[in-house]
Amino acid sequence: MMAESTLVLGLDPGTAITGYGLVREVDGGLQAVDYGVITTPARTPLPARLQQLYHELTALIDWRTPDSAAVESLFFSANVKTAMAVGHARGVALLALAEAGLSIAEYKPNEVKQAVAGYGGADKFQMQQMVAALLDLDALPQPDDAADALAVAICHPQHVALPAPDRRVGPRRPPRQASRPPPQRSRRRAPPAR
């Protein structure tokens, strides 16, 4: 498990709506500290929307002082325009997190679903129900973007507790030494070509 009373910031980035969720892990249990969305006005030029997202994320990080962050990976769908917009927002979010000095993990949507619902193909409603149950919330978290961000935050401590080979915390262990040396193989030289 992570250190006692660890606060994780989960993000579900988007240019129009970015969901955030702060989850505290205390004595093996999870508690929702805060969640919501950062919205940017439609018809505002993209650079201004990204700037607003950056400033609001930075203010949230400064106010809540999370210990680490988790961001949902980009999911490529058939809509390239949407994927590009999400990519812009992810870049801004990653920059804000990195400048705050936070350790950052990224999780694919199916990894988050597996960690929260136990099934990588869970739908939005199943995810909201599980997030509410795991965090002991009185109602389903709304809007969807905030629920997704809480799910990302819930996923993070599970992956840190049981690191995958590509997400190890700290230095890698040296390779195991064999208990006995491998058998010697004779090396035959190929006969000279004639």
Catalytic residue positions, numbered: 12, 72, 145
Contact present, 63 and 100 (Cβ < 8 Å): no
Packing angle between helix 144-161 and helix 109-117, nearest 10 degrees? 80
Structure tokens at 119: 């099934």
Find, among 6, 20, 55, the residue nearest to 144 by Cα. Answer: 20
Which phi and psi (to 5°) does residue 117 adopt? -105, -10
Residues near 56 by beta carbon (within 8 Å), at least 6 away in sequence: 38
For Cα atoms 62, 74, 164, give the angle at the middle one, nearest 5 degrees.
85
Residues near 39 by beta carbon (within 8 Å), at least 6 away in sequence: 16, 17, 18
Contact present, 2 and 30 (Cβ < 8 Å): no
Contact present, 97 and 156 (Cβ < 8 Å): no
